[in-house]
Amino acid sequence: MAEHLKLIEPFSEFKDFKSIDKETLMRIIEDVFKHMLIKRFGSDENFEIIVNIDKGDLEIWRRRTIVEDGAVTDENQQIAYSDAIKMEPDFEVGEEVSEALKLEEFGRRDILAIRQNLVAKIQDFEKDNIYKKYTEKVGQIITGEVYQVWKKEILVLDDEAIELILPKSEQIPSDFYRKGDSIRAVVAKVEMKNNTPFIILSRTSPIFLERLFEAEVPEVYDGLISIKKIVRVPGERAKLAVESYDDRIDPVGACVGMKGSRIHGIVRELKNENIDVINFTTNPSLFITRALSPAKISSIKIDEETKKAEVYMKPDQVSLAIGKGGFNIRLAGKLTGYEIDVYRDTDVDNEDVDLMEFADEIDQWIIDELKNIGCDTAKSVLSIDPKDLVNRTDLEEETINEVVRILKAEFE
């Protein structure tokens, strides 16, 4: 038996593979040795392979029929009577004899080939297992540990030490992680490259935000509240359209929670991303109005064919509608499916407009220059000759002309 232990000794480590059960490992080992037996003897039908994973032990027994001396036609299937009685004197012609396969039958090269084949098959099985496991987890949140931080991606390990990838493009811009940090992300996709599974995580996907709401808001998890659509500028702003299937449930209130208790944890996870929760409606005018919140709209004109909306509002509401970096109006357009153009609604002809209301069209440093000479409103700028404006500020003539054009358009 010692020689059999010696044969299987190099393979005993395989019982510790993390993603493979004993029965499957036994089957793989048997298949590898059967393949070797067929290659060497032409058949594996008269062989019995016994594998003991726990002990790291393997035995191979060969059955042969005893025939008269000189009558052997197949040395693999038959054994001469004179050779059989050397093992057991009581054997008779016609009986079957089982004998352990001797190590001398295998050369070092054969054993190395078997080992390499076994390693390859187990690794392929593990890779296939990982691929199947994570294919079923696409769209789910997982928690892992940061193992390595690189310039273009982060290597994350799950609780089974399976490697996951969080690319830079799928990280929130203000994300910062060190080795050993815990990280939450959604499984975005699973790919097979060169027979190796690549599991890609995301923290920027709208699905990540949706799963966070499912975790924090029981009504969303239970299906009483439906998230109709999510749009995001990761780390900056997000908008969700929600709908309740129960008239007694306020979907926005349920998602935000008492004093923002439910949404605060989500905001922190997303690095203080501003989240607007909006009641969904099939009425496009109302939906656009809600999507542009906190700005208040005076009137709206919609062209269904071109999917464009002209929104009119008081001058002091324009900057609110556009939002920091234009994120609010951009996300409102994505959420509603309309191209939204905002116009200042000046009901009174001689109404003046504060220069700050033009911040979406005129750079702040230009406004500051004009304020330095006492021009705080549109009309105060237009009341001065453009040449005088050039002389009194550090602005170029071309810049002044463009400012005047923008301000005049307000009153036309």
Instruction: Write the DSSP string, 326-361.
Output: GHHHHHHHHHHT-EEEEEE---STT---BGGGGTTT
**3-state DSSP assignment of residue 257:** coil
pLDDT on residue 170: 97
Of 345, 364, 384, the residue at which a domain comes to its end is 345
Q: In the predicted model, what is the mean pLDDT of the chain?
A: 86
Domain count, the chain: 5
pTM over 0.85: no
| 55 plus 105 within the same structural domain | yes
| 336 plus 286 within the same structural domain | yes
Summarised one tens digit per residue, pLDDT across range 326-381 is 899 999 999 999 999 988 876 544 577 888 888 888 999 999 989 888 888 888 89
| 54 plus 28 within the same structural domain | yes
Q: Report the candidate in 239, 236, 265, 234 with the shortest Cα–Cα distance to residue 172.
A: 234
| 20 plus 79 within the same structural domain | yes
Q: Read off the CATH number of the domain in which 297 is found.
A: 3.30.300.20
pLDDT: is 74 or 144 the higher one?
Answer: 144
pLDDT on residue 76: 84
pLDDT on residue 132: 92
pLDDT at 295 over 60: yes
pLDDT on residue 374: 84
| 26 plus 95 within the same structural domain | yes
pLDDT: is 61 or 267 the higher one?
Answer: 267
Pairing assessment for the beta strands 141-149 and 182-193 based on DSSP bridges: antiparallel
CA dihedral defined by 226, 227, 228, 230, rounded to 10 degrees?
180
Amino acid at 361: E
Query: Containing domain of residue 270, as a range?
Result: 221-280
Summarised one tens digit per residue, pLDDT across range 11-56 is 545 545 556 667 777 787 778 888 888 877 788 888 887 777 666 6
Q: Is residue 116 part of a domain?
A: yes
Q: Report the candidate in 403, 382, 410 with the shortest Cα–Cα distance to residue 312.
A: 410
pLDDT band at 272 (very low <50, low <70, confident <90, very high): very high
CB atoms closer than 10 angstroms to residue 21:
11
Q: Which 8-state DSSP code applies to residue 377? A: B
Q: Is residue 319 part of a domain?
A: yes
Q: Residue 372 contacts by C-beta under 8 Å, 6 or more apart in sequence?
A: 393
| 338 plus 366 within the same structural domain | no
The two structure tokens encoding residue 115: 């080992």
List, in sequence order, every beta strand (DSSP E) within 141-280.
141-149, 153-157, 163-167, 182-193, 196-202, 225-233, 237-244, 274-279
Which range among 53-67, 95-109, 225-239 has the greatest average pLDDT?
Answer: 225-239
Q: Tokens 């197949």 belong to which residue? A: 74
In the sheet with 308-313, reading across from the earlier edge strand, the strands are 299-303, 308-313, 339-344
Summarised one tens digit per residue, pLDDT across range 245-267 is 888 999 999 999 998 999 999 99
Q: Is residue 25 part of a domain?
A: yes
